[in-house]
Amino acid sequence: MLRGSLPLALLLVSLAGCPGGNGGLGEACHGNDDCGGGLQCFASQCAPRCQRAPDCGDGYACDDNGLCKLATGQRGDLCSSEVDCAPSLACRIDGAAIDPATHHLQATCLEQARMRLSGDTCIQDSDCRNWTCALGRCVDLCRQPRDCALGETCVEIPRVDANGALFAGCLPTQGSLSWSIPVTAPAAEVLLPVPAVARSVELVMAVDDPTQKVGAQRVLSPIGATIYTQPCSPLLSTADQPCEDNDAADQYFGNFDPGRPDTGNQVRHRAALGQSVLLMPSALTTPLATGDYVIKVASFRADGSGGSAIPRVTAVIKLDSGATLDLHFFFLDLTDHPCLDPGAVLNAGSAVSGAFQREYLAALRDVFTAPGVAIGDVTYEDITDRADLDGLDVANAGALLSLGRYATGINVFFVRSLSPLGIQAWGPNPGPAGLGGTPQSGIAIGLDTLCYRRWPAVARLTAYEIARYMGLYHNVELGTARHPTWRDPISDSGDTSSNLLYFSAAGGTDLSAGQAALLLRSAVLR
Amino acid sequence: MRLPWIAAAAVLCALPARGDPPQLAPQVLDALTQLDELPSQTSLTDVLGLLPDQAVVPLAQLARNADGTVDLGVQLRAIHALATFCPPAPATCGLPHDTLIEVIHAASTPAQTPSDVLRLRTAIEAIGATRSGLDSDVDELLPLLVNTSRDVRATVARALPNLCNPQATGPLMVAYHREAVPQVQLEILSALDALDGPCAK
């Protein structure tokens, strides 16, 4: 740990020529008793007491009284926190050995490595000064939050290189983390470490060949239970392994009966052309577990057989309970749209006032207020150089949604029309929350709807698509009468059309407590 | 031939009684108002409780309705759904195809309303989706390349390559040189590429 605001503060005070006396800030001292209230004697000068170890600099701990304590751990000594090791040493995880006292991975003080500091991005341990690369970032070991920098806390993190054994490390208290997981073959197992504070976790899988599908084939929980198996493919149906369309649908919708956790899929996921997202949890009855999830990722041909494309995999973990939804509106060329009032204009300039604000954005805000989501930043931009996307064929939606560059919040694109006509909105379910610029980074709303619905209905439509992006599913499907399991995995969402996730224009804006709780876990929110 | 009409009447009450909104069974209404998906032939026959040749009758009635008593959102999906009942070319597609042509004629009036534009575009798109390849279908669509609505012109340009009929190439090239709206120009170029590429092979 190198950061330290306290030594810098002392230096500045000294340079300013502080006259000293009565134990004031920057005055000479021999012990803490020489300094006034709220100060400590640090490096022979009175200095502010610390709140966090990094306030003191490399090789110090911050004790319960706010006093910086020089670490005594020498090379080869056991440690459990970065603050145990003397300056220029780092507390480094020692293979897979477990400390019987803490049940965490054992660690030892060793020389610091390269210059990447705690919190910097990394690919491997040797990238980090403290020898620990986890969740795509350099992580300091810790025993308590005070060992970590302000804005971080001390949490249990599974160590991929040690079969998911846990260590305690410093992670941010706010926001999301995303990192790439290397894959070198068309089908491969990846380990997804889920720390104790994770609210939700997603794996975004992509291939460059748009004619191939990509997705997860199997997911094992940290305790080794199979919680997801890819639904069968009717195109690969055989006498030994028959698979009709309804079989594939049954398997996709899964069995989310918490009373039978060992049967059926506990996670909803489907491979898709070009990119797909695996989001967990699918329901709070199957909560996330701390540890390594083992996920077999693969590319597939259109018929479901093995593909040749090598997947690119990105993990995203939401760490906090932030409930602010940013909205980023993009307007294609809507000039002279027949469904706008005569003479009306809808673009980034006009949307900041008028009906768009009064009737649309206000209604959208109302929908999300009920589950506790506040609308945060709202931005407006025109897209004037993509005439090919003005009337969007949903088969080409990736070209539009890739323009959604905002990683937090939702990118909402207003297009003249969606094709096939009759479709009113389009978006991934779920979407790559926390990632911008992917072929699924947003939703599209067709303005044709305004020929037969008013703005509040367009707002409900937008809210529905946003909720799907964030990981909610139709509360019931069209075929539920014949197929009772074709419904969402949330036990209290019910069958009613008053629900926001009802699949038709007859739907309402209600969300059940279970749906709201899941919505609030999305990495879309900040 | 009488049976399908009787069955349809049982499903769609009050259609087409002018002035009275038709009462659709809730599951039919749901199927025809899905937000981000169009109903498949299977789902429609399921909710209508009819065989395919019977189910097409009420859908055609919904598509033809011109007095505004059918919700436009429902009507658009019904128009589109007709194409799903057409067998692959070169087999002929009777009622669904005839209805789509009828909708095109009815909606392409000189004083077309915004609703007419949407009905017209949906029928154009559905004709393309039948992939009939018929000269007569191309002849129906080509005049619409000069429609006053840029959205109609763009839809025609997108539908024509689905018919894979080289008869469309010349008029599309003429339309390209006349066209001032970039969106439509790009659709026409894309159509010409398709007619020259996948269709030509």
Same domain, A351 and A449: yes
pLDDT band at A20 (very low <50, low <70, confident <90, very high): very low
Nearest-by-Cβ selection for B117 from A338, A423, A424: A338
Question: Using the beta-carbon criterion (under 8 Å), do B72 and A451 form an inter-chain contact?
Answer: yes
Question: In the prediction, which pLDDT does A18 show?
Answer: 39
Q: Where are the domains of chain B?
A: 1-118, 133-201
Supply the DSSP symbol for A127.
G
Mean pLDDT of A15-27: 63
pLDDT of residue A13: 46
Residue pLDDT, tens place only, A279-331: 999 988 889 999 999 999 999 998 888 999 999 999 999 999 999 999 999 99
Tokens linked to A273? 């052309």
Contact criterion met (CB below 8 Å) for A95 and A162 = yes
Averaged pLDDT, A31-48: 90
Q: Number of residue pairs across A and B with CB atoms under 8 Å? A: 110
CB contacts, 8 Å: A343 with chain B:
none
Amino acid, res. A215: G
**Position A260 confidence tier, pLDDT thresholds 50, 70, 90:** low
Q: Tell me, yes or no, whether A234 and A335 share the same domain.
A: no
Can you give the pLDDT at residue A284? Answer: 86
Domain-located, residue A148 = yes
**In chain B, which residues have their Cβ closer than 8 Å to the Cβ of A451?**
72, 114-115, 117-118
CA separation for the pair A49, A41 (Å, rounded): 9
Is A412 part of a structural domain of the chain?
A: yes
Distance of alpha carbon A72 from alpha carbon A377, whole angstroms? 48
Of the residues A384, A418, A452, the best mutation for testing chain B's interface (the one with the most B CB atoms within 10 Å of its CB) is: A452
A516 within 8 A of A493, measured Cβ to Cβ:
no
Domain boundary among A317, A339, A362: A317
Mean of the per-residue pLDDT values for chain A? 91
- A332 residue type, one letter: L
DSSP-assigned states of every residue in B127-147: HHHHT---HHHHHHHGGGGG-
**CA–CA separation, A489 and A473 (whole Å):** 8
Q: Is A234 on the interface with B (CB under 8 A)?
A: no
- A295 and A208 in a single domain? The answer is yes
Q: Summarize chain B as % helix, strand, coil (round to 5).
A: 65, 0, 30
Say what the pLDDT of residue A234 is.
87
Residues A339 and A207 grouped into a single domain: no
| Run of H or E including A162 | none
Alpha carbon distances (Å) from B4 to B31, B45, B50: 20, 12, 8
Helix (H) or strand (E) holding B11: helix B2-11
Nearest chain B residue to A480, by CA: B27
Q: Is residue A229 part of a domain?
A: yes
Pairing of strands A200-206, A275-280: antiparallel
Structure tokens at B166: 């080289």
Question: A312 and A329: one domain?
Answer: no
- Nearest Cα neighbor of B155 from B180, B182, B118, B130 is B118
What is the reported pLDDT for B1?
Answer: 42
Q: What is the CATH number of the domain that holds A378?
A: 3.40.390.10
Task: Provide the pLDDT confidence category of residue A111 given band limits of 50, 70 and 90.
Answer: very high
The least confident of A374-378, A390-394, B132-136 is: B132-136
- Cβ burial of A287 (10 Å; 0-12, 13-18, 19+) is exposed
Closest residue by Cα to residue A192 from A277, A119, A302 = A277
Same domain, A396 and A504: yes
A215: helix, coil or strand? strand
How does strand A176-181 pair with strand A312-318?
antiparallel
Residue A15 lies in a domain: no
Domain's final residue, options A151, A173, A195? A173
ipTM, 2 decimals?
0.90
DSSP states of B14-52 as a string?
A: TTT-TTSPPB--HHHHHHTTBSS-PPPHHHHHHHHTS-H
- What is the pLDDT, as a whole number, of residue A254? 75
Same domain assignment for residues A357 and A298: no
In this complex, is the C-beta atom of B10 within 8 Å of any C-beta atom belonging to chain A? no
Q: Which CATH class is domain B133-201?
A: mainly alpha
Both A210 and A358 in one domain: the answer is no
What is the per-residue DSSP string for A40-96?
EEETTEEEEPPSSGGGT-TTEEE-TTS-EEE--B-TT-EESSGGGBPTTEEEEEEEE
pLDDT in tens, chain B (201 residues): 444 555 555 555 434 444 444 578 889 999 999 999 999 999 999 899 888 989 999 999 999 998 888 999 999 999 999 999 998 877 788 999 999 999 999 999 888 899 999 999 999 999 999 999 999 999 999 999 999 999 999 999 999 999 999 999 999 999 999 999 999 999 999 999 999 987 766
What mean pLDDT do residues A191-211 have? 96
Per CB-CB distance under 8 Å, the chain A contacts of B59 are none
* For residues A415-436, average pLDDT: 96
Residue A524, domain member (yes or no) = no
Enter the tokens of residue A492.
């209290």
Q: Encoding tokens for residue A34?
A: 């020489």
Answer with the one of A146, A173, A200 that is the final residue of a domain: A173
* Residue A206 token pair: 């992509």
Domain of A297 in residue numbering reads as 180-317
**Token digits of residue B108:** 């392409």
Nearest by Cα to A443 from A401, A392, A481: A401
Report cis status (omega within 30 of 0) of the bond before A430.
yes
pLDDT of A479: 81
- Is residue A372 over pLDDT 50? yes
The predicted structure's pLDDT at residue A239: 86
Three-state secondary structure string covering A414-432: EECEEECECECEECCCCCC
Q: What angle do CA A159, A160, A164 make, to 5 degrees?
A: 60
Task: Determine the pLDDT at residue A302.
Answer: 84
DSSP run (H or E) holding A109 = strand A105-111
Query: Does the distance separating the beta carbons of B37 and A425 come in below 8 Å?
Result: no
CATH code of the domain covering residue A281: 2.60.120
Taking only the tens place, the pLDDT of each residue in A148-194 is 999 999 999 999 989 999 999 999 999 999 999 999 999 999 999 99
Instruction: Please check whether residue B127 touches A, CB under 8 A.
Output: no
Dihedral sign from CA coordinates of A137, A140, A145, A146:
negative
Query: Does some domain include residue A164?
Result: yes
Nearest Cβ partner of A387 from B76, B158, B182?
A: B182
Does the distance separating the beta carbons of B158 and A420 come in below 8 Å? no
Residues A73-96 have pLDDT tens digits of 999 999 999 999 999 999 999 989
Higher pLDDT: A514 or A22? It is A514
- H or E stretch covering A204: strand A200-206
Helix (H) or strand (E) holding A111, with range, is strand A105-111
Residue A7 domain-assigned (yes or no): no
Alpha-carbon distance of A32 to A45, in angstroms, equals 9
Residue A359 has pLDDT above 50, yes or no: yes
Bigger pLDDT: A15 vs A374: A374
How distant is the Cα of B54 from the closest Cα of chain A, in angstroms? 20
pLDDT of residue A249: 87
For residues A491 and A359, membership in a common domain is answered with: yes
Q: How far is A507 from A240, CA to CA, in rounded Å?
A: 42
pLDDT tens column, A441-492:
999 999 999 999 999 999 999 999 999 999 999 999 988 888 888 889 998 9
With beta carbons under 8 A apart, name residues in chain A contacting B125.
Answer: 419-421
Q: How many domains does chain A have?
A: 3
- Are A498 and A362 contained in the same domain? yes
pTM for the model:
0.91
Residues of chain A positioned with their CB less than 8 A from the CB of B190: 388
Distance, first Cα to last Cα, chain B: 40
**Helix/strand/coil for A274:** coil
Name the percent of chain A lying above pLDDT 90. 78
In a domain, A65, yes or no: no
Question: Whole-angstrom Cα distance, residue A385 to residue A376?
Answer: 28
- What does R_g of chain A's alpha carbons equal in angstroms? 27
pLDDT of A12 above 50 = no
Task: From A214, A217, A98, select the one nearest A166 (Cα to Cα).
Answer: A98
Q: What percent of chain A has pLDDT over 70?
A: 94
Mutate one of B32, B35, B148, B151 to test the A interface: name it (highest A CB count within 10 A): B35
What whole-number distance in Å separates Cα of residue B157 and Cα of residue B160?
6
Q: Which two tokens stand for residue A292?
A: 């390594």
Q: How close, in Å, is residue A295 to chain B by CA atoms?
A: 30
| A344 CB neighbour count, 10 Å cutoff | 15
